[in-house]
Every structure is written in structure tokens, then in C-alpha cells.
């Protein structure tokens, strides 16, 4: 017999009527089990508790459901507590590379979860900090990008006791999950999503540098001009010149709830 699900949080794409309707449908499917259901503002649904996104980390949750595109899933993983599992529902997204289900299979997927017919898929995440600031965790990538468009900075990269120093526009450090994102658009390879590895991609280096696949080691980056640090393409932070940024594996992996086995999910979802 499946273990009862007592506490569920739903985070949906803001301003999307389709996502709101999907949330109502999911809540109706969960109601026979009588769980406590939290919804994230501005979503409000009768019979649920509306909370702010920042309050998620303080809750003891059995699962989170993200309804929208990949952007909604990425946003959810920055706020949910530690290793809390997440079911990604693609409603109004493009390809939904991270999603497990969409509208057409939503009922079957929720019934599978309620019946205990699911498994967890683990993905590594990135932690990023300076001496003063710890930034939100990244599931896809961390990007350091020059702020001054007419000056090409010198980027210093330290990893595995070696240094790379060169003029370039910036650098992308991506997880296997994020290898289909910004790094891929820059010509990087698709890295199998379940590997424990990182992908380092220079952006417009003055002398051609290879993209490097490496173990999830600590990477220290400093730039001799002000830069912008971008987390998962959604949050941007100012980094002063010569400030060291440490990028490492986040201690809590992301956990996706999956109800069906797939091969190379990324390739299928990208349409190949």
C-alpha cells in the first residue's frame, strides 16, 4: 500500500489560466487523501493555503508540483527544501525538457503517484558564493558575463590545482541537466543528465578554448572587470571586479518524481 501524501505544495506559472486550471484539476485528484495543500502566490484556490515562495523552505513537504514550463521547474528548485521531490507538469511551456507529464497524461500520472507507482531521479545542482554572499542553487547553470560591452575582461579560472587565464566575454558552468540550455546554444555538447559531472564552456574566448567536461570539482573564477552572475537564466547578481566566485556541487541533489522510464530524455525532448 502506498504511503499517504500529507503535505503538498503547488507552484505554477504566473498569469497562466491553463496552469491554474491544471492546479485545480490536480487538487481535485488529491482531495480523497485529504492532504494539506499549499499554493504559491499569486495562485489562490479554495481549500488550500496560500503562501509566499520564500516560505517553502520552512515547510515539511512530501512533494512539490511545478506547473508551467521548464522555467517554473527551475524556479521551484531554488526554493524547495533540501531534497524534496518534485513532479514537473508541462503546461504552456515549449519543449518541457524537465517535465514528466503534460495535460494529456496528467490524470494518469497523478494516479500513479498516489498509488506509489513512481521512482526518483536524482540530478546534481550547483552552489555559488563569494566571500560575502551565497547565491541560490542552480539546477541548470551558472553564467558569469561581462557587464561592459566595449571591454573584454581577463577571466581567471582555477580548478583541480590548475589555472586557465584568458580574455573572454565570460564563462558558463553547467550541470548535465543544463547542458541542453545556454551551453548547448553556444555549441556545447549534450551531457547525459544522470552523470555526476560539470561542463565548463568559455564564452567568446580570444584564443579558442575547448569546452571541458570534468568531475563536480570546485571551480574558482575571478574577472578583472565587473561581471553579472546569472543563476539558471532567471536571477542576476552584480559581481565587482576581481571578486572571487566559488562554484561547487550543491550538497542537496534535485529529486524528480518520474512515473515512466525513458532512455535519453534530453534528446527526445529536444525533438531529435
Report the CATH number at residue 106.
3.40.50.10330
pLDDT at position 2 is 57
Distance CA 238, CA 225 (A): 11
Listed in sequence order, the residues at least 6 apart from 271 whose beta carbon sits closer than 8 Å to its beta carbon are 95
First to last CA, the chain: 39
pLDDT at position 209 is 86
Q: In what order do the strands lie in the sheet with 141-146?
A: 212-214, 198-203, 170-174, 141-146, 227-231, 235-239
What is residue 180's three-state secondary structure?
helix
Distance CA 71, CA 108 (A): 24
What number is the average pLDDT over the span 77-105? 89
Q: What share of the chain is helix, strand, coil (3-state, %, to 5)?
A: 20, 35, 45
* Residue 227 located in a structural domain: yes
Same domain, 162 and 207: yes
Same domain, 14 and 119: yes
Same domain, 104 and 176: no
Round the average pLDDT of the chain to a whole number and report it: 92
The answer to whether residues 179 and 214 touch, using CB atoms and an 8 Å cutoff, is: no
* Residue 2 located in a structural domain: no
pLDDT at position 1 is 39
* Residue 107 located in a structural domain: yes
Same domain, 43 and 89: yes
Same domain, 245 and 131: yes
* Residue 156 located in a structural domain: yes
Q: Tell me the CA distances in angstroms from 225 to 135, 159, 202, 246, 266, one per residue in order.
A: 20, 21, 16, 17, 35
What would the pLDDT profile of 202-218 be if each residue is shown by its tens digit?
999 998 888 999 999 99
**196 backbone dihedrals φ, ψ, rounded to 5°:** -90, 85
What would the pLDDT profile of 36-76 be if each residue is shown by its tens digit?
999 998 888 888 999 999 999 899 999 999 999 999 999 99
pLDDT above 60 for 272: no
* Residue 1 located in a structural domain: no
Same domain, 258 and 210: no
Q: What is the pTM of this model?
A: 0.91
Same domain, 208 and 97: no
Exposure class string for 39-78: b at 16+ Cβ within 10 A, else e: bbeebebeebeebeeeebeebebebbbbbbbbbbbbbbbb
What would the pLDDT profile of 17-26 be if each residue is shown by its tens digit?
999 999 999 9
What number is the average pLDDT over the span 102-119? 94
Same domain, 116 and 191: no
* Residue 57 located in a structural domain: yes
Q: Tell me the CA distances in angstroms from 102 to 77, 105, 245, one per residue in order.
A: 19, 6, 38
Which domain CATH number covers 164?
Answer: 2.60.200.30
What number is the average pLDDT over the span 131-137? 95
Same domain, 58 and 111: yes
Residue in this structure with the C-alpha cell 576581481, named with its chain if needed: 242
What would the pLDDT profile of 163-202 be if each residue is shown by its tens digit?
999 999 999 999 999 998 899 888 888 898 889 999 999 9
Cα dihedral across residues 74, 57, 39, 87: positive or negative: positive
Distance of CA 266 to the CA centre of its chain: 14
Q: Which of 216, 181, 223, 188 is nearest to 202 (CA)?
A: 188
Same domain, 113 and 147: no
What number is the average pLDDT over the span 111-136? 95
Q: Domain count of the chain?
A: 2
Same domain, 141 and 119: no
Task: State which residues form the domain around 212.
Answer: 126-249
What number is the average pLDDT over the span 250-261? 94
What number is the average pLDDT over the span 137-162? 95
Same domain, 165 and 88: no
Q: How many CA atoms lie within 13 A of 191 on its CB side?
A: 28
Amino acid at each position: 500500500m502506498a504511503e499517504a501524501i500529507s503535505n503538498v505544495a503547488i507552484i505554477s506559472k504566473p498569469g497562466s489560466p491553463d496552469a491554474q486550471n491544471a492546479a485545480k484539476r490536480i487538487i481535485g485528484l488529491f482531495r480523497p487523501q485529504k492532504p494539506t495543500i499549499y499554493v504559491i502566490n499569486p495562485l489562490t484556490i479554495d481549500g488550500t493555503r496560500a503562501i509566499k515562495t520564500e516560505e517553502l523552505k520552512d515547510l515539511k513537504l512530501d512533494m512539490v508540483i511545478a506547473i508551467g514550463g521548464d522555467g517554473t521547474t527551475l524556479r521551484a528548485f531554488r526554493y524547495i527544501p533540501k531534497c524534496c521531490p518534485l513532479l514537473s507538469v508541462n503546461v504552456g511551456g515549449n519543449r518541457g525538457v524537465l517535465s514528466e507529464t503534460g495535460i494529456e497524461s496528467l490524470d494518469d500520472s497523478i494516479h500513479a503517484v498516489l498509488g506509489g507507482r513512481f521512482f526518483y531521479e536524482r540530478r546534481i545542482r550547483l552552489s555559488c558564493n563569494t566571500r560575502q554572499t551565497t547565491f541560490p542553487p542552480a539546477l541548470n547553470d551558472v553564467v558569469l558575463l561581462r557587464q561592459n560591452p566595449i571591454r573584454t575582461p581577463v577571466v581567471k579560472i582555477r580548478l583541480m590545482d590548475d589555472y586557465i587565464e584568458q580574455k573572454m566575454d565570460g564563462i558558463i558552468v553547467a550541470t548535465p541537466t543544463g547542458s541542453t540550455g545556454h551551453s548547448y546554444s553556444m555549441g556545447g555538447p549534450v551531457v547525459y543528465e544522470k552523470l555526476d559531472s560539470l561542463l565548463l564552456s568559455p564564452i567568446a574566448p580570444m584564443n579558442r578554448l575547448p569546452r571541458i567536461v570534468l568531475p563536480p570539482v570546485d571551480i574558482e573564477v575571478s574577472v578583472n572587470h565587473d561581471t553579472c552572475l546569472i543563476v539558471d537564466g532567471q536571477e542576476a547578481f552584480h559581481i565587482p571586479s576581481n571578486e572571487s566566485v566559488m562554484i561547487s556541487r550543491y550538497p542537496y541533489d534535485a529529486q524528480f518524481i518520474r512515473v515512466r522510464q525513458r532512455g535519453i530524455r534530453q534528446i527526445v525532448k529536444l525533438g531529435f
